[in-house]
Structure 1
């Protein structure tokens, strides 16, 4: 059953002409990837953004796409690769919030991608002695906070951050621009293998994908999207690192930059980020703690836990509980977001929401938004 589900999940992400946003819309309206493939044309035409051309495309390519997906699911099983569709509870929740999030991730490892505290570290490939020292110090200072370190497994700051995390006993994730079966650069394979036991390797690219240049900016959005804060250690003015910082900034994620020597080319980028107010200066771990309110987080979490309403399963059905749990986390959601976060199909969600309104649990707001009372 699980394997069949995986086959349809992989297949819908490989369907020509069906991007990430349309995939979410199709699954939300139909209930599951399998239901999308089995839905009659009349039902699909009722979905916003779906026209006759797309329906014809799905029907003509469904068989070949499913055959290829079945091969990949078998290969994933052989290589111990987890296939994380965006509806999976293991899929990074932070990543779900970004508008261009991938719908399927290939993951090898043992880390919790929804760990409480996650920080990304990025920087130049031409790392200086200063950059290496600072990177290692940051990781060591983060040790008491049980942080997961995310980076790109590249030369320079990336691999230094991964290596320091391994030495500190912190989980670390390498986000790759290649397929899950290709470690790049190959010289970092020894660290990648250790990360499988203390973190993992993550990619949105299918098996056999080579790390072509255009895939690195796409990889960077995952690095920025799945963390609470991106720390830039060293970066030249024109570099992929600044792209990552800009992406994180566009996602309303926190960005920090380590101030550097004004005479050093690899400090020009970090100093510019601070000067242009696109990043907060990182001078000690306390800067990060205060920026992310970690010093207040535990206390707030305890208060929230004490005051959070306890929903009695006897009073609500399974779908109602799913919706309530989502709203308990975010308090207010749009109907479409509620559907994919709770995994209640749009076709059923309207009646579920109506039932919860009658029970006095939620309130409908303008624009198809709902709030927990």
Structure 2
């Protein structure tokens, strides 16, 4: 057995020792430098780690955990799954910074979990057409601005699966973080997407094979989604939901959090609007907003805003195109000038301007001026 395999076994075993937990396991490894040494020198732990008591030493004398870990190693080797221990150089470095980071991860795929740019996109399982359109538009834009970005989500219904679909459609690497072991896919209807992701992204979990997708596992999964990324993006959310938990976790990890706004009357925009109202997320209207806010608009992505935006929205309605044409011809205009120049009633103009703003075609300047991007 290699040293790496031994570390994998002891890392898996440490997750199964009763009474240790995520934070406790991470502190033990931080103090002893490896899971192997945690078990090997368990009787010496109090000398090196003052907080360790006799209860922990007794708990680490756990042959059944070692046996189960050896069984899991056979499973992952047979299925060509990578086991990333906490001291593995390929372990996501962003996640390693989090106090409650898992000490072992199981990964199948080809994504770079330490990619230069990583975002997660989360939201309601009851995605509306508005939310799915944001996924489509946002990732199409982002591909042009930042083609090496890794898109993370949870393979769940709604916004999650649409984020994965659109990432794949735009040839962006995408990783699904699961709330169960890699011996299954849940929900099963997303199995084909999960398989497609193995060729451009992958599947990641902290759970051993045989673990059911129980409710509490999804909350645990959310901390990985938040911790391994530079930014969390909430597309649509009700007043309560898993995506808001992910946003809170991101804030706790000092990660950037963004949210797309929606109408106050829309049930699945209330959570996003709440995040924005409480200053727990920054307003996001387009991929350009994200790239600028994150400081990713370097010379290596020398994409002209105008060419990106115009190429993405060739399917504008007749009235939307009128507004675009007028702004292109006359420059920045207020709503009254747009109403006169296009002969569109003011009540309808407001709705059209909102839609164009959501699509990232225009933006509002000081003084109520609208500018074409």
* TM category, shorter: 0.7 to 0.9
**Structure 2 length-normalised TM:** 0.76
The count of aligned residue pairs is: 297
- 2:109 matches 1:109: yes
Is 1:45–1:52's contact at 8 Å kept on the other side of the alignment? no
Alignment partner of 1:58 out of 55, 60, 73: 60
* 1:78-97 equivalent positions in 2, closer than 5 A: 78-97=78-97
Q: Residue 173 of structure 1: CA displacement?
A: 0.5
Is 1:120–1:151's contact at 8 Å kept on the other side of the alignment? yes
**Structure 1 length-normalised TM:** 0.76
After superposition, the C-alpha distances for 1:331-364 in whole angstroms (9 at most, x for unaligned) are: xxxxxxxxxxxxxxxxxxxxxxxxxxxxxxxxxx
Counterpart in the other structure of 2:194:
192
Hey, what's the Cα distance between the residues in 2 that align with 1:285 and 1:271?
A: 19
* 1:169-180 equivalent positions in 2, closer than 5 A: 169-180=171-182
| Residues 237 and 42 of structure 1, relative CA distance in 2, 3 Å threshold | closer
Hey, what's the Cα distance between the residues in 1 that align with 2:169 and 2:79?
A: 26
Hey, what's the Cα distance between the residues in 2 that align with 1:158 and 1:111?
A: 18
Give unmatched runs, 5+ long, in structure 1: 300-373
Counterpart in the other structure of 2:75:
75
- C-alpha root-mean-square deviation of aligned residues, in Å? 1.7
Counterpart in the other structure of 1:232:
234
Is 1:7–1:66's contact at 8 Å kept on the other side of the alignment? yes
Q: Residue 188 of structure 1: CA displacement?
A: 0.2
| Residues 47 and 133 of structure 1, relative CA distance in 2, 3 Å threshold | same
Query: Which of 1 and 2 has greater Rg?
Result: 2
Q: Residue 296 of structure 1: CA displacement?
A: 4.5
Counterpart in the other structure of 2:23:
21
After superposition, the C-alpha distances for 1:83-108 in whole angstroms (9 at most, x for unaligned) are: 11111111111111111111111111
Hey, what's the Cα distance between the residues in 2 that align with 1:286 and 1:42?
A: 54
Counterpart in the other structure of 1:134:
134
| Residues 28 and 120 of structure 1, relative CA distance in 2, 3 Å threshold | closer
After superposition, the C-alpha distances for 1:163-202 in whole angstroms (9 at most, x for unaligned) are: 0001100100001111121211000000000111110111
Is 2:179–2:214's contact at 8 Å kept on the other side of the alignment? yes
Give unmatched runs, 5+ long, in structure 2: 302-373
Counterpart in the other structure of 2:304:
none
Hey, what's the Cα distance between the residues in 2 that align with 1:70 and 1:15?
A: 14
